[in-house]
């Protein structure tokens, strides 16, 4: 029997929904990040849902993201946005706050933090950042 995935250990879809809701509520109030995201409520919610589905898939849950959005190619999808060190740091700060506030266990929180820090650094695409 395969060991449980992180997706299963944290409680499945509900965990990633709550995590992304908390994260996006902070993003919306952040002066550095908010301008990058859609102002329209429905588009903003769609962006949040895509992140939720991506994370569900990444951590071992259903691969609905790929079915609906295709291969993630995250660096390519972020190319339209100027992401330098300030954007990366703000993104990570809000996501780490959301992880800290989540009900995940210490081991799962540590895995999530390590992943988000490195994935966000990989998304930097602005020279001199």
Residues forming the site for ligand HEM (CB under 6 A): 33, 36-38, 47, 50-51, 54, 69, 74, 77-78, 81, 83, 87-88, 91, 119-120, 123
14 versus 74: smaller Cβ distance to ligand HEM:
74
Alpha helix locations (H) across the chain?
6-10, 13-28, 41-58, 64-69, 74-77, 85-101, 106-122
Q: How far is the CB of 77 from ligand HEM (least distance, A)?
A: 5
Q: Which two tokens stand for residue 55?
A: 């994370």
Q: How far is the CB of 123 from ligand HEM (least distance, A)?
A: 4
1 versus 102: smaller Cβ distance to ligand HEM:
102
Dist. CA 9–CA 105, nearest whole Å: 9
């Amino acid at each position: 029997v395969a060991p449980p995935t992180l997706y299963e250990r944290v409680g499945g879809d509900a965990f990633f929904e709550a995590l992304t809701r908390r994260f996006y509520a902070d993003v919306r109030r952040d002066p550095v990040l908010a301008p990058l995201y859609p102002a329209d409520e429905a588009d903003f919610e769609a962006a949040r849902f895509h992140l939720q589905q991506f994370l569900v898939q990444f951590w071992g849950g259903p691969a609905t993201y790929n079915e609906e959005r295709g291969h993630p190619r995250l660096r390519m999808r972020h190319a339209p946005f100027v992401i330098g060190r300030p954007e990366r740091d703000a993104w990570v700060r809000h996501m780490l706050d959301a992880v800290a506030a989540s009900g995940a266990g210490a081991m799962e929180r540590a895995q999530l933090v390590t992943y988000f820090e490195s994935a966000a650094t990989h998304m930097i695409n602005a020279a001199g950042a």
